């Protein structure tokens, strides 16, 4: 368990522990974060939202990777091998875009944003 977050500014985090997992005692010993134990319907609702957010993030990443690609043509077979192995930096010479994949990536991102907003709204009462 890490108390580190992605930005340098201070955070006012609270952990929401699911009662069915029975980890409160271990969490209390290992973490300095504030926490609340959520039960029953609230636990199921939050777990469902977190699962959806994770699945949507993975789907977004997949769509984004297939939507946009760098065009880089090696000047020789040796250069191609070096680029493929990561031994030589690829210098973009253009970009290939699949409009359909990009549209799917954007739609998935928007859906994930909606789920994250739902999580934010559902957890506001615990963050105070």
What's the pTM value of the predicted model, to 2 decimals? Answer: 0.64
Give the model's pLDDT for residue 4: 54
Mean pLDDT of 10-32: 87
**How far apart (Å, rounded) are the C-alpha atoms in residues 66 and 97?**
8
Give the model's pLDDT for residue 108: 93
Query: Among 7, 18, 28, which residue's Cα sits nearest to residue 51?
Result: 18
User: Exposed, middle or buried by CB within 10 Å (0-12, 13-18, 19+), for 71?
Assistant: exposed
Pairing state between β 34-38 and 14-18: parallel
- The string of pLDDT tens digits covering residues 24-67 is 999 989 988 888 899 999 889 999 999 999 999 999 999 988 89
- Whether 8 has a pLDDT exceeding 90, the answer reads no
**How far apart (Å, rounded) are the C-alpha atoms in residues 119 and 125?**
11
């Amino acid at each position: 368990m890490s108390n580190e977050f992605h930005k340098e500014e201070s955070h006012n985090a609270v952990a929401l522990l699911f009662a069915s997992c029975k980890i409160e005692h271990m969490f209390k010993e290992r973490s300095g974060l504030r926490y609340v134990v959520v039960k029953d319907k609230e636990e199921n609702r939050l777990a469902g939202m977190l699962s959806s957010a994770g699945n949507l993030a993975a789907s977004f990443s997949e769509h984004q990777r297939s939507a946009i690609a760098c065009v880089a043509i090696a000047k020789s077979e040796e250069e191609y091998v070096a680029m493929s192995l990561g031994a030589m930096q690829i210098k973009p010479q253009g970009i290939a875009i699949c409009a359909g994949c990009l549209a799917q990536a954007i739609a998935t991102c928007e859906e994930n944003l909606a789920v994250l907003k739902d999580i934010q709204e559902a957890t506001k009462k615990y963050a105070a």
